[in-house]
Amino acid sequence: MDCTNRVTLSGSVKGELVYSHSVYSEAFYTCFLQVPRLSGVSDLLPLTISERLLATSAITDGAEITVTGQLRSYNKFIRGASRLILTIFALEVSFSEEVVNSIVLTGYLCKQPTYRVTPFSREITDLLLAVNRSYNKSDYIPAIAWGRNARFAGTLGIGDCISITGRVQSREYKKHLSEGNEETRTAYEVSIATLELLKSP
C-alpha cells in the first residue's frame, strides 16, 4: 500500500537560514517557522529548504510564507545517544499571510500504542508511525490522539496501516538526566484530528 506524507504550513520565518548538509552537490538549509494556533499560542517548527528553492524565494527572518512538503525524520547522535529528529522538508514555498497547519499521513504502526488517562481525565494515546518514502527509506513520526480517537487508537497494534489527518505541533518537556539534573527539550509530533484503520497484518 502506498504511503502518504503531505504537509502544508503557513507562518513567519524565525531566524536566519543556517547551512545543514549537502546531498549530491545540492545544499540544504534550516530555519524555524512560527505557526500560530487558534488558541493564540504558536508552534515553532523546524524547516529544511533546498538551495534550489532559495534561488527563487527570498526567505528571510520575518517573511510570511506557506510551505508544502513532508514531515521527515532522521537519527542524530547527541552527547553519545541517538535521538529522533523531525523536520519539515519543503517541496514548494510561496508567500502568503493565511494561517494553515495541516498534515495527512498514511503509514504503519511500528510500536505498540500507549493509552493513558491524565490526572485531569483526558484520554491520550501515543503512536509511532512508519511512513515509507523512496529509496527504501522510512520516516518515523510520533503522533498523539485524544478522546474518542485515543480510545480507538489504543486498540490498534504493531503492523496496522492507518491514515491520519491533523496538525504538526511543538511542545516543551523536562528530560531528567543523570545526577538529578534536568534539561528542557522540544518535541515535535502530529496532533491527530481524524484516524482510520486501513489494513491489519
Q: Are 121 and 165 contained in the same domain?
A: yes
Between CA 117 and CA 113 the distance in angstroms is 13
Q: Which residue has 493509552 as its cell numbers?
A: 115
Domain span holding position 190: 104-199
Residues 139, 70 contacting (CB under 8 angstroms): yes
Q: Are 140 and 92 contained in the same domain?
A: no
Confidence of residue 54 (pLDDT cuts 50, 70, 90): confident
Between CA 46 and CA 127 the distance in angstroms is 21
pLDDT recorded at residue 83: 82
Q: Are 8 and 94 contained in the same domain?
A: yes
Check which CATH number belongs to the domain holding 185 and give it: 2.40.50.140
Domain end point (choices 68, 83, 101): 101
Domain end point (choices 101, 122, 144): 101
pLDDT recorded at residue 30: 95
Q: Are 121 and 190 contained in the same domain?
A: yes
Q: Are 23 and 89 contained in the same domain?
A: yes
Say how many domains are in the chain. Answer: 2
pLDDT recorded at residue 1: 56
Q: Are 82 and 120 contained in the same domain?
A: no
Q: Are 14 and 88 contained in the same domain?
A: yes
Kindly report which listed range (28-32, 94-98, 158-162) carries the lowest average pLDDT score.
94-98
pLDDT recorded at residue 180: 74
Q: Are 20 and 86 contained in the same domain?
A: yes
Domain end point (choices 101, 123, 157): 101
Percent of the chain at pLDDT > 90 equals 69
pLDDT recorded at residue 2: 64
Burial of 20 (0-12, 13-18, 19+ CB in 10 A): middle
Average pLDDT over residues 31-53: 93
pLDDT recorded at residue 153: 97
pLDDT recorded at residue 8: 97
Instruction: Name the amino acid, one letter, at 75.
Output: N
Is the pLDDT score of 82 beyond 90? no
- Stated pTM of the model: 0.91
Is the pLDDT score of 177 beyond 90? no
Q: Are 57 and 22 contained in the same domain?
A: yes
Report which of residues 54 and 153 the model is more confident about. 153
Mean pLDDT taken over the chain: 91
Q: Are 93 and 110 contained in the same domain?
A: no
Is the pLDDT score of 56 beyond 90? no
Average pLDDT over residues 99-111: 95
pLDDT recorded at residue 126: 97
Kindly report which listed range (73-77, 168-172, 184-188) carries the lowest average pLDDT score.
73-77
